[in-house]
Amino acid sequence: MALEGASMANKTVIIAVVNKAYTEGDKPMLDMFLDGFWLGEDTRQLKNHLLVVAVDQTAFERCRFLGLHCYKLKTEGGDFVGEKVYMSEDFIKMMWQRTRFLNEVLRRGYNFVFTDTDVLWLRNPFPRLTLDGSVDMEISVDNFNGDQWSERNLINTGFYMIKSNNKTIALFDEWYGRRNNSAGKKEQDVLLDLTREGAFRRLGLRVRFLDTIYFSGFCQDSRDVHVVSTVHANCCRRISAKVADLTAVIHDWKRSFNISAAGNQTMEFRWSPHSACRNSWIS
């Protein structure tokens, strides 16, 4: 019912997963995420197709309060309420629970765009994605190597679009099946291993790796603010640092319009430095 309520006509859903830590603070990460849909170009209607998956009761109640499509995920083992610091044991457990749930979405015949809530949607990304069914999966990368079909790109599971079919379900089965034999690795690392081992080719999957000029992040800024669709607070360790630097991204985004409106061709646009995220690895 949750999927049907959020689905587009072509059975595609936008999915984000949150816990209590993403709904707390002076500026919760979930609220920051929703700001992108409000401020972005041609993004407001996309919120109607967003399904927020809550892993605890507080996150679920906050989601309902915000009037979103919400689903309470029953999780197995672990406490998923507080902030899960990058690569901690509970962080890794939560990522695997997410993978299991997303596999179930595919099995029910729904395509989806998965997005972390630390991804700002500044423009409607769908015009930059392949919607004719010729590509099984399109996934963001930390650093784009210039070739959208190269499996040497360093994938990031914080933003990807995937089509529901037997091949993608087989990929998720194999991916989730490795969870108990991948100690110390998050699900993204395991998917990267599968990529390096040729799993995409073996399963007959056509996978496109997204150019950071359109689907950018803090690891590699977009080279053109006038075409960027999403900005991901990757290469960052803590929620507070992500919120601080994403706030700067929103200010940059607004500033870019002022530069364009003024017709000032001599003023070069530059993204603000992601200082809080850089320092999050030190503290």
SS3 assignment, position 179: helix
- Vertex 28: Cα angle to 114 and 138 (nearest 5): 15
Query: Residues 133, 200: one domain?
Result: yes
The residue among 213, 228, 255 that closes a domain is 213
Query: Residues 106, 231: one domain?
Result: no
Strand-pair category, 69-72 with 50-54 = parallel
Distance CA 172, CA 160 (A): 14
Query: Residues 203, 238: one domain?
Result: no
pLDDT at 129: 97
Query: Residues 143, 15: one domain?
Result: yes
What pLDDT, in 10s, does the model give residues 194-245?
999 999 999 999 999 999 999 999 999 999 999 999 999 999 989 999 999 9
The residue among 213, 236, 253 that closes a domain is 213
CATH of the domain at 118: 3.90.550.10
pLDDT at 82: 46
Distance CA 210, CA 87 (A): 24
DSSP annotation of 41 reads B
Query: Residues 237, 117: one domain?
Result: no
What pLDDT, in 10s, does the model give residues 70-123?
999 986 655 444 444 444 566 677 778 889 999 999 999 999 999 999 999 999
Query: Residues 248, 172: one domain?
Result: no
Structural tokens at position 240? 């507070």
Query: Residues 165, 253: one domain?
Result: no
pLDDT at 263: 63
Query: Residues 131, 249: one domain?
Result: no
pLDDT at 283: 64
Ramachandran category for residue 204: left, alpha or beta (phi over 0 → left; psi -120 to 50 → alpha): left
Q: How many helices (H) and strands (E) does the chain have?
A: 9, 10
pLDDT at 89: 63
**Range 260-274 average pLDDT:** 75
pLDDT at 183: 72
Query: Residues 51, 104: one domain?
Result: yes
Q: In which domain, by residue range, is 157 found?
A: 2-213
pLDDT at 281: 87
The residue among 197, 213, 229 that closes a domain is 213
pLDDT at 83: 43
Cβ neighbour number for residue 10 with a 10 Å cutoff: 9
Cβ neighbour number for residue 200 with a 10 Å cutoff: 18
pLDDT at 1: 95
Structural contact between residues 170 and 203, judged by C-beta atoms closer than 8 angstroms: yes
**Range 55-78 average pLDDT:** 88
Q: For the whole model, what pTM was predicted?
A: 0.92
Judged on CB neighbours under 10 Å (0-12, 13-18, 19+), 221 is buried
Query: Residues 71, 163: one domain?
Result: yes
The amino acid sitting at 27 is: K
Query: Residues 57, 98: one domain?
Result: yes
What pLDDT, in 10s, does the model give residues 139-195?
999 999 999 999 999 999 999 999 999 999 999 999 988 888 777 778 888 999 999
Number of structural domains in the chain? 2
Reply yes or no on whether the pLDDT at 40 is more than 70.
yes
Query: Residues 209, 230: one domain?
Result: no
